[in-house]
Chains A and B, each alone.
Chain A
Amino acid sequence: MSEPKRERPWIMRTYAGHSTARASNELYRTNLGKGQTGLSVAFDLPTQTGYDSDHPLARGEVGKVGVPVSHLGDMRTLFDGLPLERMNTSMTINATAPWLLALYVALAEERGENVAELRGTTQNDLVKEYLSRGTYVFAPEPSLKLTTDVVAYTVEKVPHWNPTNVCSYHLQEAGATPVQELAYALSTAIALLDSARARVPADIFPEVVGRISFFVNAGIRFVEELCKMRAFTVLWERICKERYGVTDEKLTRFRYGVQVNSLGLTEPQPENNIVRIVLEMLAVTLSKDARARAVQLPAWNEALGLPRPWDQQWSLRAQQILAFETDLLEHEDLFTGSVVVEREVKALADAAWAEVEEIERRGGVIRAVESGYLKQRLVESNAARLARIERGEQVVVGVNRFVESEPSPLVENLDEAILTVDPAVEAEQIAALNAWRKQRDASRVEAALRGLKDAASKGENVMPASIAAAHAGVTTGEWAAALREVFGEYRAPTGVAGASMPSATSDATRVQALRDTLTGLEARFGRRPKLLVGKPGLDGHSNGAEQIAIKARDVGFDVVYEGIRVTPEQLVASALEEGVHLIGLSILSGSHLVLALDVLDRLRAAGLDVPVVVGGIIPDADAKRLLAAGVARVYTPKDFELSRIMEDLVALVAERDAA
């Protein structure tokens, strides 16, 4: 046996942030105290979409799923007592990435720290925002330009920074197959590097190639996922060498961080999730040749709501046990020479390469986003996945097999098994924001915003102007509003219109019965029952709404779906103008009470008597409140049988009519 010389373990992170900068700062300090080696900042949705906490669209969202950062003052508090030079900070930030990086840099400058020494990552990949994550603001073209601004700025000024993290993680969470994950992410990296090549001096371009890192997913089929990671390394090297002529091995290495799959984590028997999480972690750690640089794990209660510190600790401990108790890090690559692994890697790489070429034929990834091609493919893959689960072809323990269970002590008190954010933080944050606005120099702010707009409209790099704006006390909402003025606002394709359903097999009779009923209802009403599927608020979780929409069409509803980020006011206007028979809201961000009740109020005010159902991550206690307030039905992830949901909806329409 070789001398047990241990490899250094990967960076262990926990994706965290909530309520306020102060509360999140405390959380980060405790996490670092527990042996976590990097920070991973979760921002709230207003910050991610470029709104200040007092914007109407921010209502109910402030401090919910992440920390609100509205200005330099918030950044100061967030990193209070944490020396930036010594942190490795990953920020899950995209449309507003140039701005959050500007705030981070401004803070370092203000503290007299060396900006060139900053280490960390801005996610800064907009392609997957259109395809899955939903926090885009601008159209693909200007977004790519802003992404490239950050790249061009950091290569020169913050050389250890990862300016962009090309993400395939979110694609799998939106249903992508391993081949799609590989192909779409690599095509995104190609678009980015093509754009950067035109912007940076030729002699530093190889460095840019070397700075591109990835953020990937690892699902439960962990052998295939392990092979996927190896396929990534093979294809990336090929792209670096053949497309960009970069051969230095240090620069062509596929560097990646991971968050393992959450889409497959279940609401029923949630304790099983910890096992899934551990298995998924193996895919990205077992191969030394394709091992993750950084790993963050979801928690066992993922499908219930936000994790508490203890839940996150449990996942962190899983990483630590693998890294420090087992002998994994003592060995060479375990799979070199494995016939099976090599065969699988080749198969995945070949299929993915064919898809990369297909995207190239369609004019590249930006065009394929705009045309809706990529989104539609994801919606279809996700539909196929759900259909397999519904038919029992894909086993999910505790959901469609082995469903009997002893009462779980972990969820004895379900409503306390998650983190809840005090609704009072919103008012607190807004008060602080107003105080901030009052104490700054208004003319400096104005000048900084003019400078920013100027740079943006002239096509210059927005980073210097953004850093100046950060020092001047500009807010997140002001920064984004200035750029919205220049670039406009974008609505991405929803992918649903053209998406075809997997050909039904075992539930064909159920579907046919639904179709017959709806045709009967059409005859009775004189027109076909019409369903409005709505996503109110800033929530970008579109999977559920998309799958409900295409399934509803498949059973015979006329379905109106307007995509994400629609206000309750807009939804009610749509319901009226479209003459719908039923409204279905999908809300996963945790803002269901505020938003659904707002929709109900406005419907009443408009004199519309249309039943409303709500689906998403909705704790039991809240479901009761919604039902009491007049919501007709509430659905959560445990309702995985789409056909059954459809039967309900059809019955609801029929019953209303009969009443």
Chain B
Amino acid sequence: MRPEPTIDPRELARGVRARDKASIARALNLVEDRRPSARATVGALLGALREETRRDDAPRGARVGLTGPPGVGKSSLAAALARQLRRDGRSVGIVAIDPSSVKSGGALLGDRARMGFDPTDNSLFVRSLATGGEAGGLSWSTPAAVHVLGAAYDVVLVETTGVGQTETDVRHVADTVVLVIQPGSGDVLQFLKAGVMEIPDVLAVNKADHEELARRALADLRGALHSLSVVGASRELPLVATSASTGRGVEELVAAIDAHHAELASRLAEHRADGERAWTTHLFVRLHGEHGVTTLGGRAALLDAVRDELAKDGASAPTACAALSARFLSTMQA
């Protein structure tokens, strides 16, 4: 095998932070690496990124999740959002996730086809990831990829596969979840009402260039959202009609996302810490299963342990998970 170039996590983190595309690409290759041998380096990289980010006083990386059924225009809307954000002078990283084939393990990563960005723009980066058999509309490496892009760019957009009705994982990697639907898709609403689908932070009705349909859909939705508040939404859900094709409503969508982010500001750190804990737990359960959980004393004990590990200096989900793994293995041997 050709010798792998040795990676200095700190240097790589500096490259990412400086928005050097080659470094960012290398960092993403690294966090996608599933070999046990890569875990320590990934952990070190994420730790280093966190430190780099902390040192800098301009916080970056508002994380926006785009979810919704295939074909509603998530990729197109991500592209439109990115253009708008670039016009506003903000840099953008995009993670687009597509499903892997169960039969072959391969995937067709087609979201990029909708984007067509200026290749010389240094403040825009798109990475496609395959779910690799992971349930929930995200890939195994999504949280880490979001960390990498979040360290480099002002806004990170995460496009989920949109399959499956419960795309709850996106909540853990995103600060703001935008559910994209299209006119005439009444079932989405049913899912929301029935509580099958989590309530998003912003609702975008895309393809509003189909005027007549869009008008009707908006009216329907307004009515239905009203009854949603009965189900338990604590606030009014912002509803934006967009057209990724004409650009209509895209500014409003950015404004709605920004407004949600501003509102979240006081709770942002806690929200992200929650996400980090969920990710660590997920990694651990993935490695050791329910047996691992029991060995460490059950769910509540595991959560406490996760919290403690993450509080350590330079910790990240992979390093925390590694520490817990070590504890699990030593318990087993004892």
Q: Which residues of A contact B (CB under 8 A)?
A: 139, 141, 371-372, 488, 490-491, 494, 496-498, 511, 515, 518-519, 522-528, 549-550, 552-563, 566-567, 569-570, 572-574, 576-579, 606-607, 656-659
Contact = CB atoms under 8 A, between A and B. Distances in A.
Contact of A526 (B26, B35, B70, B125): B35
A569 B120 CA distance: 8
Contact of A657 (B2, B24, B125): B2
Contact of A552 (B71, B106, B116, B126): B106
Contact of A522 (B1, B105, B110, B112): B105
A494 B117 CA distance: 17
A553 B104 contact: yes
A208 B22 CA distance: 57
A658 B2 contact: yes
Contacts of B109: 558-561, 578
Contacts of A572: 119
B166 interface: no
B127 interface: yes
A567 B114 contact: no
A165 B109 CA distance: 35
B29 A491 contact: no
Given A491-B113, A497-B98, A549 B1 contact: no
B21 interface: yes
A49 to B, nearest CB: 14
A480 to B, nearest CB: 17
A497 B104 contact: no
14 contacts: A525-B33, A527-B33, A527-B34, A553-B101, A553-B106, A557-B106, A558-B107, A558-B130, A561-B113, A567-B119, A570-B119, A576-B21, A578-B109, A656-B2
Contacts of B128: 560, 578
A491 B70 CA distance: 17
A298 to B, nearest CB: 30
Given A494-B110, A570-B119, 15 more contacts: A488-B247, A497-B108, A524-B1, A527-B32, A527-B34, A553-B108, A559-B107, A559-B109, A563-B113, A567-B119, A573-B21, A577-B21, A578-B109, A579-B25, A579-B26
A596 B35 CA distance: 34
A491 B116 contact: yes
Contacts of A566: 116
What is the interface residue range for chain B against chain A? 35 or more
Given A577-B126, A578-B127, A554 B113 contact: no
B251 interface: no
A561 B108 contact: yes
Interface string B72-96: 0000000000000000000000000
A496 B108 contact: yes
B209 interface: yes
A593 B289 CA distance: 54
B209 A141 contact: yes
Q: Which 5 A-B pairs have the closest CB atoms?
A: A526-B33, A573-B119, A553-B106, A526-B35, A497-B110
A526 B32 contact: yes
A129 B43 CA distance: 49
Nearest to B127: A577
B38 interface: yes
Given A139-B245, A527-B29, A576-B25, A556 B106 contact: yes
B106 A494 contact: no
Given A526-B35, A570-B119, A555 B126 contact: no
A558 B113 contact: no
B28 interface: yes
Contacts of B32: 526-527, 579
A448 to B, nearest CB: 26
Interface string B15-52: 00000011011101100111100100000000000000
Contact of B22 (A498, A519, A576): A576
B110 A569 contact: no
Contacts of B247: 488
B136 interface: no
Nearest to A568: B119
B249 interface: no
B106 A549 contact: no
B238 interface: no
Nearest to A139: B245
B25 A577 contact: yes
Nearest to B140: A527
B222 to A, nearest CB: 24
A63 to B, nearest CB: 27
B93 to A, nearest CB: 10
Contacts of B117: 570
A526 B34 CA distance: 5
A556 B104 contact: yes
Contacts of B1: 524, 657-658
A556 B108 CA distance: 10
Nearest to A602: B119
A554 B246 CA distance: 35
B72 to A, nearest CB: 10
B108 A579 contact: no
Nearest to A572: B119
Contact of B106 (A488, A559, A578): A559
A343 to B, nearest CB: 39
A522 B209 CA distance: 43
Contacts of B314: none
A659 B3 CA distance: 9
A625 to B, nearest CB: 26
Nearest to A659: B2
A561 B106 contact: no
Nearest to B129: A558
Contacts of A560: 109, 112, 128
Contact of B132 (A139, A518, A528): A528
B119 to A, nearest CB: 4
